Amino acid sequence: GAGVSQTPSNKVTEKGKYVELRCDPISGHTALYWYRQSLGQGPEFLIYFQGTGAADDSGLPNDRFFAVRPEGSVSTLKIQRTERGDSAVYLCASSLGTENTEAFFGQGTRLTVV
Amino acid sequence: QQQVKQSPQSLIVQKGGISIINCAYENTAFDYFPWYQQFPGKGPALLIAIRPDVSEKKEGRFTISFNKSAKQFSLHIMDSQPGDSATYFCAARTSGSRLTFGEGTQLTVNP
Residues 16-75, chain B, touching A (beta carbon < 8 A): 31-32, 34, 36, 41-46, 49, 51
CA-nearest of B56, B49, B47 to B87 is: B47
What pLDDT score does A98 carry?
59
Average pLDDT in the B101-107 region? Answer: 97
CB contact under 8 A, A108 and B93: no
Find the closest chain A residue to B90 by CA distance: A42
- Number of H helices and E strands in chain B, helices first, is 0, 11
- pLDDT value at B69 more than 90: yes
Tell me, what DSSP letter sits at residue B83?
Answer: G
Query: Do B46 and A104 make contact, defined as CB atoms within 8 angstroms?
Result: yes
- Contact between A65 and A77 (Cβ < 8 Å): yes
CB neighbourhood size of A27 (10 A): 9
In order along its 114 residues, chain A shows pLDDT tens digits of 579 999 999 999 999 999 999 999 999 999 999 999 999 999 999 999 999 999 999 999 999 999 999 999 999 999 999 999 999 999 999 998 756 678 899 999 999 999
Q: What does the pLDDT read at residue B111?
A: 93
3-state SS, residue B38:
strand
Q: Are A35 and A90 in contact (CB under 8 A)?
A: yes
Task: Give the residue-averaged pLDDT of B80-105.
Answer: 92
pLDDT at B68: 94
**Nearest residue on chain A to B44, alpha-carbon basis:** A105
| β-pair partners for B62 | B59, B77
For residue B11, pLDDT over 90 is answered with: yes
Do B44 and A105 make contact, defined as CB atoms within 8 angstroms? yes
Dump the DSSP string for A57-114.
Answer: -TT--STTEEEE-TTSS-EEEEE-S--GGG-EEEEEEEES-SSSPPPEE---EEEEE-
Q: Round to the nearest angstrom and report the end-to-end CA distance of chain A.
A: 33
B97 touches chain A (CB under 8 A): yes
Give the pLDDT score at B2: 60
Q: Using one digit for the tens of pLDDT, what is the confidence trace for B19-46?
A: 999 999 999 989 899 999 999 999 999 9
B101 contact residues in A (CB cutoff 8 A): 42-44
Binning pLDDT at 50, 70 and 90, where does residue B97 land? Answer: confident
Neighbours of A24 (CB within 10 A): 18
